[in-house]
Structure 1
Amino acid sequence: MPVPSFTTTCLSNCVIARDIYEFRLRKPKGFSFKAGQFVLFDVPLLENPTDIQTRAFSIASAPREEELLFVAKMKKGGRASRWIAESLQEGSTVRMQGSFGVFTLKPENAKEYLFIATSTGVAPFRGQIIDALQSGDMRRMDLIFGVRSEEDLFWVEELQKLSTQHPQFSLHCSLSVGSSAWTGHRGRVQTVTKSAVPDAAMRQVYICGSPAMTMEMKKMCMEVWKIDRKDLHVEGYI
C-alpha cells in the first residue's frame, strides 16, 4: 500500500523556549491521524534543495484541532534543525508523509494514565491528553514533564489551564537544574515520578524522551514497579 503524501503550508514558526521551535501547519484535506502518531517531513539540504531526506516528527495536535502542531529541539548543524530555524516560515510549502506509528492511547485499558516526558518528548502527550479530555475520559491522568531549567519549559501555561478546567488531569514539572526561585519539583523524572504520583505502579504508563531516559525509565517500570509489559508504552527520539 502506498504511503499517503501531502503538501501543505506553514502557518507559523517561532522560538518558544531555549533551542525549542514550535511550528504550525495547515491540516491537509484528507489527512487523518491518531493522537501520538508521527509524520515524515521532506527536509531539503539548504545548500542544495534538490537533496531531500525525510525526518520524523511527532504530531502534538489532537485530531479534532484545526491545525497541525509540531515542536523541535535544535541540534547544531542538523539538517532538520537548519531547515526549521533558517528556512521554514509562514507561507512555506511543506511536504510530508503519514501518519505513522502505534504510540497511541489504549482507552480499552481501564487503568489510569501516567505520561512521562523530557523536553520535546512531551509533544505526543499534548495531543493525547487533549484528545482524551475532549472525548470525555474522566480517569486520572498525570503528566511528568522534565527539563533542565526554567528556560527550557514550554506549553506550561496551556497545560496548567487544562488541569484547572479538567480536575482529572494534573501537570508535574520538574527541573534538574532549577534556580532558587523554582518552587516545583526538582530532579530527573526518574527520581521524581514516584513521589509525584504515588500509585504510578498501578497506571498504564507512556514514556517519551531521550533514549537514555526512556531506557532507564522503562527498566524502572518493569523491574522496580513490576508494571506489566502491556501497560507500558515507550517511544524515544534522537
Structure 2
Amino acid sequence: MTHTAEVVSVVQLTPTVKQFRLRVPGHEFDFDPGQHTTVQFDFEGQGPEDTARGNDDADPTGEHVVRPYTATNTPGTDQITLAIKAYDEGLASAYMHQRRPGDEVELGEFAGNLAVESFEEDVAFVSTGTGITPMLAMLKAYLERGEGHVHFLYGEKSEEHVIYRETLEQLASEHENLDLTVVLSESDHTWNGPTGHVQEHLSALFETFDDRDFYVCGVPEMVVETAKELSDLGAPDDRVHTEGWEDGAVEGE
C-alpha cells in the first residue's frame, strides 16, 4: 500500500542534503521512530546507479524504483520529514532533489527493526552521515519518554556537512540529560572539537559500557568497527543495536 504525499516544504540543510516535509491529508503516520518508509516512482530506462550497484529494488525493465528513507520526526501527525543526500549518480536522490512544494510523492508503508528498545535505560546514539536520520527520530522519542541519560555521538567530514546541527544543539541546551558530541574527520584550525572517527572516541566518552544501550547506524564499515570496539570495551552484545546499509538498504541514494 502506498500513500500520495504532497511536498509541503524543502529546506537545504547542508551543501548536499535537503529536508523534505511531506503531508498526507487525513492520514496519521504511525511508526516506531527509527523505522523507514519508501519513496517510489516510475522512470524510463535502467539508471546508472542501478546498473553499477545491481539494485534489487529496481524492476529489471527499469520501470519502477523503490528507495527507503528514514523519517526524522516522531509519529502522530499527517506529516513526515525526510533528510536526503544527493549523490552524483543517485537516481532516487536526484528525483527527490528535483521535488518542489506542491509536488506529489508516493510513500510506502513504514518498516524496519531499529527502534528504542527501552526508555528506562541510559542510551547512546552513534551515527555518521545520513545514518543520523533514524538516530534523530529515536533521540526525539527518548527525550519525550526516556527516564535516563542519553549521549548523542555523530561523525561527519566537515562542519558544513553536519546535518541538523542547530536542532541537535537546541535539544542539548533544553535537556540536561543529553550530551552531544560531534566528531569531524576533515577539520581545520577553526574546529575545537574531537577529530577522526566516532568509534575512536568511545573509550574517552564513557566510563563503563555495560550499563546503557548503544544504537549504531551508518555505512557498513563504520557499523562493524563500532560494534567491535564496543564489544572490546565490554558492552554486552544484547545492548548493542546496529543497522548499516549496503547500496541504500537503509538510507536510499
TM norm. shorter chain > 0.5: yes
Residue equivalent to 2:198: 189
- Structure 1 residue 195: Cα displacement: 1.4
For residues 46 and 165 of structure 1, what CA distance do their matches in structure 2 show? 48
RMSD: 2.0
- The question of 1:121 aligning with 2:131 is answered yes
Give the alignment of 1:130-209 within 5 angstroms. Answer: 130-135=140-145, 137-209=146-218
Q: After superposition, what is the alpha-carbon deviation per residue over 1:128-184, rounded to whole angstroms, capped at 9, x for unaligned? A: 11112122x230000111000112112111111111111001110010111101111
Bigger mean CA offset, 16-25 vs 167-176: 16-25
Greater strand percent: which structure?
1
- Structure 1 residue 27: Cα displacement: 4.5
Residue equivalent to 1:229: 237
Q: Which amino acid in the other structure matches residue 214 of structure 2?
A: V
For residues 146 and 44 of structure 1, what CA distance do their matches in structure 2 show? 34
Residue equivalent to 2:19: 22
Residue equivalent to 1:105: 116
Larger relative CO (CA 8 A, sep 6+): 1 or 2? Answer: 2
Pick aligned residue for 1:59 from 63, 67, 71? 71
Question: Matched residue of 2:101: which SS?
Answer: coil
For residues 87 and 77 of structure 2, what CA distance do their matches in structure 1 show? 28
Residue equivalent to 2:52: none
Aligned residues: 230
- The question of 1:75 aligning with 2:87 is answered yes
After superposing on structure 2, the runs of 4+ consecutive aligned residues of structure 1 that deviate more than 6 Å are none
For residues 47 and 15 of structure 1, what CA distance do their matches in structure 2 show? 29
TM, length-normalised to structure 1: 0.89
Residues 38 and 107 of structure 2 are in contact (CA less than 8 Å); yes or no, is this contact kept in structure 1?
Answer: yes
Q: Is the alpha carbon distance of 1:181 and 1:132 closer, same or farther for their aligned partners in structure 2, counting shifts above 3 Å?
A: same
Q: Is the alpha carbon distance of 1:206 and 1:236 closer, same or farther for their aligned partners in structure 2, counting shifts above 3 Å?
A: same
Structure 1 unpaired stretches of 5+ = none
Residue equivalent to 2:37: 39
Q: Which amino acid in the other structure matches residue 12 of structure 2?
A: V
Q: Is the alpha carbon distance of 1:65 and 1:168 closer, same or farther for their aligned partners in structure 2, counting shifts above 3 Å?
A: farther
Q: After superposition, what is the alpha-carbon deviation per residue over 1:44-82, rounded to whole angstroms, capped at 9, x for unaligned? A: 33779x922100011111124663111122221111121
Q: After superposition, what is the alpha-carbon deviation per residue over 1:111-137, rounded to whole angstroms, capped at 9, x for unaligned? A: 3101100011111111111112122x2
Q: Which amino acid in the other structure matches residue 205 of structure 1?
A: F
Q: Is the alpha carbon distance of 1:211 and 1:163 closer, same or farther for their aligned partners in structure 2, counting shifts above 3 Å?
A: same
Structure 2 unpaired stretches of 5+ = 47-61, 248-253
Pick aligned residue for 1:7 from 4, 7, 25? 4
